[in-house]
């Protein structure tokens, strides 16, 4: 069963690119792993967005398993919007202004 389409807030897309670039500098293998885990997270969120815990400002969060990131997302009527791909140890809550 196909889930809702997932779209990224422009700043969340920038976060993915910056994080992937950083991992590529460290290890191409790590960069591939990061993108693969991110793609898996998007797939499981799209299938059952309500499965993951409520977080803040009407958003939910999904913790990546092998990387210190969480996806902050909200379910809209026709799509799922990823608000942030946030590093778990940096600037908590910085993404809240993206909910508007």
> pTM higher than 0.75, yes or no?
yes
pLDDT at 97 over 90: no
Establish if 96 belongs to a structural domain: no
> Domain for residue 71, yes or no?
yes
d(CA 74, CA 85): 13
Q: Are 34 and 23 in contact (CB under 8 A)?
A: yes
Quick one: pLDDT at residue 85? Answer: 95
- Domain interval for residue 59: 6-90
SS3 call for 22:
helix
Instruction: Assess whether pLDDT exceeds 70 at residue 96.
Output: no
100 pLDDT band (50/70/90 cuts)? low
How far, in Å, CA of 45 to CA of 75, rounded? Answer: 10
More confident residue, 98 or 66: 66
> For residue 98, is it within any domain?
no
| Residues in the chain, overall count | 100
Determine contact, residues 19/43, Cβ cutoff 8 Å. no
Query: For 71-86, how does the pLDDT look when each residue is reduced to its tens digit (9 = 90+)?
Result: 999 999 999 999 999 9
- Give the tens place of pLDDT for each residue, 20-65: 999 999 999 999 999 999 999 999 999 999 999 898 878 999 999 9
Q: What is the edge-to-edge ordering of all strands in the sheet holding 69-75?
A: 6-8, 80-87, 69-75, 60-63
Residue 1 domain-assigned?
no
* CATH number of the domain enclosing 15: 3.30.2310.20
Domain count, the chain: 1
């Amino acid at each position: 069963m196909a889930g809702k389409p997932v779209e990224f807030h422009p700043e969340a897309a920038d976060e993915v690119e910056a994080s992937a670039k950083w991992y590529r500098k460290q290890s191409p293998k790590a960069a591939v792993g990061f993108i693969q885990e991110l793609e898996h997270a998007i797939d499981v969120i799209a299938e059952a967005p309500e499965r993951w815990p409520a977080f803040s400002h009407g958003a939910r969060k999904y913790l990546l398993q092998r990387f210190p990131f969480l996806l902050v997302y909200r379910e809209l009527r026709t799509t799922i919007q990823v608000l942030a791909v946030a590093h778990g140890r940096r600037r908590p809550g910085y993404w809240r202004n993206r909910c508007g």
